[in-house]
Amino acid sequence: MQFSTKNTKKVFMLTISAFILSSFSISAKAAEEPIKLEGYIDSYIAMDNDSNVMFDTSKDKKRATNNRGLNALGFRKNEFNLNMAQLSVSKNADWYRGRFTLAYGTTPLQSWTTEYLPIQEAYAGIKAYDNLWIDAGIFLTHIGVESLLPKNNHLSLLSLTTMYEPFYQSGVKISYKPVDQFEACLHVLNGLGIIEDNNNDKSLGWLLSYSPNASFNITDSGSIGNEEKAGDPATFLAFNNLNLSYQPIDPLSLKASVDIAMKSNAMSNLYYSGLLSGKYAINKNFALSLRGEMTNDDKKVLTVGTNGLGVTAGLEFKPTDNSYLRLEGRQLMLANNTENQVFKDAAGAASSSRLEGMLSMGVYF
């Protein structure tokens, strides 16, 4: 069929009109899904009975600090400070999504890759198919039952189990959620708990989550890959986390988590760690929390040989749904050997135990 110039112009005008109308339609739809803005501030003061003094190196001179080892939250003691102040912008539409979070405070200063401060999250995603999404960028970790954000946890002080899990990661995530009760994710990562790649290999991560009802969830997640620095002999590290969340009755929430890790050059050497925590709401304003934890890494798979137990108790006051005031105490009891005598008692002698406390306050919107 031949088209005259008049017909060609008509087709062109109809195409332009359709494009303009579709643009207005997309804009109208986007207007129904506005950009979401979120904020969160968590401040604290922490104390402990460890007389050990940590040092920073500044211009080749040692400078005493209030920094504390084995802590990501409540990292500095005897002073008022911020765990974190963060601001997030996110967008969720039918076929695309994204999130960008800036964060600052003693937690990211102590635990984050310096070159990427103050970025906590920065990723974009598209829907490749019905319920199948592909996201790429910088993410918070997909591993563990405790979050880096205190507001999501029973307690603000993190367990050693969580301390030795990754906090962040970068790469590509493919997620599929065919039904509300089940989700599966595959991650291709630069490595476990890193942003910039430290070698030419990539690590594979996974997450399988099942929630038969609103009261119960079981999740298995982990990562496997060569985590050695470029130039070192390749050694594959396998890390797996299994966790449960259960709310048997409305006031009571329970969480349990177990980590296991091993390296390919010594498959018989195991790192294992776990926690069990519960939170009981006395009423709508007050709640009590209790957590037990254990870590064993005699073979130095992930740590310098950290091995011990911990018990944490906390009282929470929530004046509103999006704010809290928490008072927490924790006793760490590490194995009595050289690797675990990282504290000092009042007399200055090496010690493997520490009693600590923290008062924290958080507000989020």
Summarize pLDDT for 274-295 with one digit per residue, the tens: 999 999 999 999 999 999 999 9
| Higher local confidence (pLDDT), 57 or 325 | 325
Residue 185 CA to chain centroid, in angstroms?
16
Q: Which range has the worst mean pLDDT, 26-40, 150-164, 246-260, 278-292?
A: 26-40
> How far is Cα 143 from Cα 241, in angstroms, rounded to an integer?
7
Tens digit of each residue's pLDDT (9 = 90 or more) over 126-144: 999 999 999 999 999 999 9
Domain ranges of the chain: 34-364
Q: Check residue 55 and give its pLDDT.
A: 79
Q: Which two tokens stand for residue 72?
A: 């990501």
- Between the alpha carbon of residue 362 and those of residues 42, 96, 188, 326, the distances in Å are 4, 31, 34, 9
At residue 12, does pLDDT exceed 90?
A: no
At residue 11, does pLDDT exceed 90?
A: no
Q: Check residue 54 and give its pLDDT.
A: 82
| 295 DSSP 8-state letter | E
Rounded mean pLDDT, 38-67: 85
Rounded mean pLDDT, 146-169: 96
Which of the given ranges, 14-18, 233-237, 321-325, has the highest pLDDT on average? 321-325
Rounded mean pLDDT, 31-41: 84
Report domain 34-364's class. Answer: mainly beta
Phi, psi (deg, nearest 5) at residue 163: -60, -30
> How far is Cα 291 from Cα 155, in angstroms, rounded to an integer?
8
Q: Check residue 33 and give its pLDDT.
A: 67
Q: What is the CA radius of gyration of the chain?
A: 24
Residue 253 binned pLDDT confidence (cut-offs 50, 70, 90): very high
CB 204 within 8 A of CB 224: yes
CB 190 within 8 A of CB 197: yes
pTM of the model: 0.87
Tens digit of each residue's pLDDT (9 = 90 or more) over 308-362: 999 999 999 999 999 999 999 999 999 988 889 999 999 999 999 999 999 999 9
Tens digit of each residue's pLDDT (9 = 90 or more) over 158-188: 999 999 999 999 999 999 999 999 999 999 9
Residue 9 binned pLDDT confidence (cut-offs 50, 70, 90): very low
Residue 252 binned pLDDT confidence (cut-offs 50, 70, 90): very high
Rounded mean pLDDT, 205-228: 97
At residue 89, does pLDDT exceed 80?
A: yes
At residue 7, does pLDDT exceed 50?
A: no
Long-range contacts of 331-340 (CB under 8 A, 24+ apart): 331/355, 332/70, 332/160, 332/308, 332/356, 333/308, 333/309, 334/306, 334/307, 334/308, 334/309, 335/307, 335/308, 337/305, 337/307, 339/304, 339/305, 339/306, 339/307, 340/305, 340/306, 340/307, 340/308
Nearest CA to 165 out of 50, 47, 295 is that of 295
Rounded mean pLDDT, 295-306: 94
Q: Check residue 17 and give its pLDDT.
A: 40
Rounded mean pLDDT, 58-85: 86
> How far is Cα 177 from Cα 179, in angstroms, rounded to an integer?
6
Q: What is the mean pLDDT of the chain?
A: 90
- Between the alpha carbon of residue 53 and those of residues 229, 230, 343, the distances in Å are 31, 34, 9
Q: Check residue 56 and give its pLDDT.
A: 73
Q: Check residue 34 and give its pLDDT.
A: 86
- Where are the strands (E) in the chain, listed by range? 36-48, 54-58, 61-65, 80-92, 96-104, 119-129, 132-140, 168-179, 182-189, 203-213, 216-226, 236-249, 252-263, 266-281, 286-296, 307-317, 323-334, 343-344, 350-351, 353-364
